[in-house]
Amino acid sequence: MASLSGKVALVTGGGRGLGRAYALRLARLGADVAVNDLSMSVHEEYGEELTAVTVPAEIEALGRRSLGVEADVTDEGQVRDLFARVVDAFGRLDILVTNAGGALFGGEWEPTLDLNLKGTVLCCQAAAAIMKEQGAGKIITVGSQAGLIGASADPYGVSKAAVSHYTRGLAAELGPFGITVNCIAPGWILSSRAVAQGRASDETRSRLEPNIPLRRLGEPEDCAKVVEFLATDLSDYVTGQTICVCGGWVLR
């Protein structure tokens, strides 16, 4: 039996990139997976090739049930509808990965904080209400190495630092209900958006890789393996932690 057989997961921002890697990893472990994004065809924007027309279709091809829900996680009403649709479709929610986010707005504070922090909080609050009734659950938030190294006070780094802090507080609050809350903090990962923006170029590699102790940029699967740990019983006694998946970049 697969380690997540009978479980239901929701991955926000799961229509491409890292979110897609998380969703497919959970499906391969036996979970039924709901996928949220602003659009189920968002992968086309960055030229990411899928094995089916959408990520939910990829999950169904693996023999798992799936549901695609287009919604903006910064809108409270849309978040309520998102979680209601997941419960209506699957009857429960065991795993939440709050992957929706990014450095999309440059130096603009409000939209960056809304996307990375407010979106995370709204989804965690909605999931917590469901998981409390179940008496169990796994919440995995998504921070960033940018929120850990303290090299700058830009909106993205501050918003991701806030996600890590929120994770610790939420873990303390939800622990008595049998719910673990942990954060994954990716480093320089070759996601489809990053690749489209030039991260895979020789110039970028030569600049970044010498400063990474493991001497390579990360792949989405490097992060998906840590999500597997946090979503399964391997991490049942782990909560309130931020795990940086950066090849050692934060050791600089």
| Under 8 Å between Cβ of 25 and 227 | yes
Block residue for tokens 């010498």: 210
Residues in contact with 53: Cβ distance below 8 Å, sequence separation at least 6, in sequence order: none
CA angle 156, 24, 177 (to 5 degrees): 70
Distances (CA, A) of 244 to 35, 42, 143, 164, 231: 24, 26, 9, 11, 16
Q: How far is CA 204 from CA 3, 61, 104, 179, 201, in A?
A: 38, 36, 19, 40, 5
The set of residues, in sequence order, having a beta carbon less than 8 Å from that of 202 and lying 6+ positions away, is: none
Cα of first residue to Cα of last residue in the chain, in angstroms, is 42
DSSP H stretches of helix in 33-154: 55-61, 76-90, 109-113, 119-134
Q: Quick check: 142 and 184 in contact, CB under 8 A?
A: yes
Catalytic residue among 22, 46, 156, 237: 156
Judge whether 166 counts as a catalytic residue: no
**Within 10 Å of residue 34's Cβ, how many Cβ atoms?**
28
Number of helical H runs and strand E runs in the chain = 9, 7
List, by residue number, the catalytic residues: 156
